[in-house]
Amino acid sequence: MPDDQPETPYLELLARGAPAEAYERPVLRARAEGASAARLAALERAKLLALRVRGELEGRRRREAELSALFETAHDLAGLRDLDAVLQAIVQRARSLLGTEVAYLTLNDPQAGDTYMRVTDGSVSARFQQLRLGMGEGLGGLVAQTARPYVTESYFDDERFQHTRTIDSGVKDEGLAAILGVPLMLGSGVIGVLFAADRRPRVFEREQVALLGSFAAHAAVAIDTANLLAETRSALAELEAANEIIRDRSEVIERASEVHDRLTELVLRGGGVHDVAAAVAEVLSGTVEFTEAHTAPAAAVDRSRAGGHAVRHGEDWIAAVSASGELLGALVLRGHPRLDPVDQRTLERAAMVTSLLLLARRSADEAEQRVRGELLDDLLDAPDREPRLLRERAARLRADLDAPHVVLAAGIDAPGTAFGGAPGPAAGPPEETDEPDRTGRAHRAEGADEAAGRQRLWAAASHLAATRHGLAAARDGGTVLLLPLADGEGADSLARRTARQLGTAVQAAVTVGASAPVPAPAARPGEVASAYAEARRCLEALRVLGRGGQGAAAEDFGFLGLLLGGARDGAGDAARVEGFIARTIGAVVDYDARRGTDLVRTLDAYFASGMSPARTKDELHVHVNTVAQRLERVGRLLGPDWQSPSRALEVQLALRLHRLASAIAR
């Protein structure tokens, strides 16, 4: 090798990337060959220069790899889709470039007040991978407190940070010795720590600390970006939800405005409650009906009335229509089990408008009701009125006084009171008191309540009379009604129905007594007063018998009905007698007529013989078994209780009336 080219062997070593120990060989070879001192010195200089160049090249290559890894990380961040994947890539690249056995990343949890393992690479311990550490504990706690990198060559021999049993157990389980930790910074705050670690003691160079710090900066950016994206997505979702709510509310407001305009128009042009129901049904896309108080579901109406809101009832919604404590009816929305609050409020407003319309109509009807009351008063007090004038007045009220009517006496049921509301006998003298005026105030309050109750009853009766094309008037502290009798309807059923309707309307027990039908009040006005007296007797009988709050006619009281019915004319009396006979023993009489048997005669003989079958058979001259068979047949026709004292008394009275009627007919 020429003396003037000592660098040649080193260029070849640099060219093929030989290891550092190979650079000693040219010097050793020249020395073995006996090279001159100058030659050896030149080779030494060339070796040092070559090693310097080699180190520079190694550093550049390492820097290039680091920059490449950082570039790839930045590229991953630019297209961030999955935060976990980006953080995993950062930890993997840090481990690869630093040549460590393990790399991992922890994040702080402000809500829990600790820090937890977020990502690991190269870890083999499940306990280590699931570590949760208190704030300020371990090597990571020191990094978080100082916001500066920290490195230890031997973890368990380093006393500069706080050791805990949990952390030490995890580190020991993983087998770590040398650990380098750098902070994850967002602004001036530490959000976590990025670590690189080996399972054997090791010294981390300054360049490695700086490199891990760069990866930590990228990791912090990735976390911040992901958080911002999450917040952005959340904000967008909230905005979308808000927009959806705004769109819904806009539609609701439009619907509410439409309902308001339509209801206002209805009120201004004098529409009725059914027009209101139709308008609301169209807006709510359902079926809305106005129902009378007695036909609506009582429990649901009571809940709506008490709370002042529409309530759900099965698949329907019900809004009570009431005013001044009086239940007027209800609006029922059918087939809408789910109703949003605005639509519910729409139904409630419709109920309010309906109550206003009903009150307005009632105010207009009060004058008509007074006229109806005056006409009924004339029928009761002036029976000599000209029938033609009565018919004309009734026609203006849409009443037909040539049709059969029933007179009904109604009163709010109060124990110990008579029909006119007068108090019954006191149970004893009032107790002495230190406040003499307290009893007086109580009596005045009680009197005011009774007056208010009578007023409500008259209003409800007037409304019922108007809807049934009848008449009503306040009289004798109660209310009297003259209502037409429908085909196939009896006075007793009309009385019961009226008691229910009035009781529901005034929210109190109402007792109603009914007269026998008056065929044509206009043609025979004198019968109206007699019928009213009969209705009052029935009312008093109901209260005496403890049946307050019910409705009944004379025929409901058995033979007592003959006494309660009184006498209006001969035909009426005969009809009541015939009705009593038919209800009591009609089945036996009809059986004899169809079969030619002697059941009626057997009954006469049976009662005449003191209800003794043995004496009855002597009276009839038949065998005792025949008597038993006939009585068994009577039991099947009249019912098993026909021999009870009360029934036996009615049967005997009916037998005598039947015998008397048969004798008169002959």
The percentage of residues in the chain with a pLDDT greater than 70, rounded to a whole number, is 82
pLDDT tens column, 362-378: 666 566 667 777 788 88
Report the C-alpha gap between 507 and 510 in whole angstroms: 9
DSSP string, 372-391: HHHHHHHHHH-TTS-HHHHH
Closest CA to 88 of 222, 233, 184, 186: 222
**pLDDT tens, 576-623?**
667 778 888 889 899 999 998 989 899 989 988 888 998 988 988 999
Of the candidates 159, 155, 151, 147, the one whose C-alpha atom is nearest the C-alpha of residue 187 is 147
Question: In the predicted model, what is the mean pLDDT of the chain?
Answer: 79
Residue 411, strand partner residues = 511
Measured CA to CA, the distance from residue 112 to residue 579 in angstroms comes to 90
pLDDT in tens, 115-128: 899 999 999 999 99
Q: What is the pLDDT of residue 591?
A: 92
Give the C-alpha separation, 79 to 497, whole Å: 81
Mean predicted confidence (pLDDT) in 88-107: 88
Give pLDDT, residue 9. 81
Helices and strands (DSSP H and E) totals, the chain: 21, 15
Q: Is the model's pTM score more than 0.85?
A: no
- 384-393, long-range: CB < 8 A, 24+ apart: 384/525, 384/526, 385/525, 387/522, 387/523, 387/525, 390/521, 390/522, 390/525, 391/522
pLDDT(446) > 80: no
- Cα→Cα distances 282→130, 259, 286, 287, 565, Å: 62, 9, 7, 8, 53
Average pLDDT over residues 261-284: 74
pLDDT at 426: 33
Q: Which residue's structure tokens are 């439409």?
A: 258
For residue 419, the model assigns a pLDDT of: 46
Q: What is the pLDDT of residues 228-253, one digit of tens each?
A: 777 888 888 888 887 887 776 676 66
Compute the residue count for the chain. 666
Section 373-393 average pLDDT: 80
CA-to-CA dists, residue 126 to 90, 120, 657, angstroms:
21, 11, 107
Task: Choose the most confident range, by mean pLDDT, from 12-26, 191-205, 292-306, 379-393.
Answer: 191-205
Q: Give the pLDDT score at 424.
A: 36
pLDDT of residue 526: 78
> How many other CB atoms are there within 10 angstroms of residue 32's CB atom?
8
Q: Which residue has the higher pLDDT, 437 or 313?
A: 313
List of residues 6+ apart from 59 with CB closer than 8 A:
none
Measured distance CA(360)–CA(348) in Å, rounded: 18
The tokens describing 376, both together, are 């009924």
What is the C-alpha to C-alpha distance for residues 423 and 419, in angstroms, rounded to an integer?
Answer: 10
Structure letter (DSSP) for residue 156: G
Query: In this model, does residue 209 exceed pLDDT 60?
Result: yes
Write out pLDDT tens, residues 326-355.
Answer: 788 888 888 766 777 777 788 788 887 877
Top-confidence residue, 520 or 55:
520
- The residue type of 100 is T
Higher pLDDT, 9 or 194: 194
pLDDT band of 416, cuts 50, 70, 90: very low
Give the integer Cα–Cα distance in Å for 267 and 297.
Answer: 27
- What pLDDT score does 427 carry? 33
The token duo for 227 is 């958080």
Task: Answer whether residue 469 shows pLDDT above 90.
Answer: no
**Residues 6+ positions from 48 with CB-CB distance below 8 Å:** none
Looking at the predicted structure, is the pLDDT value of residue 514 above 80? yes
**Residue 304 corresponds to which tokens in the numbers above?**
């709506």
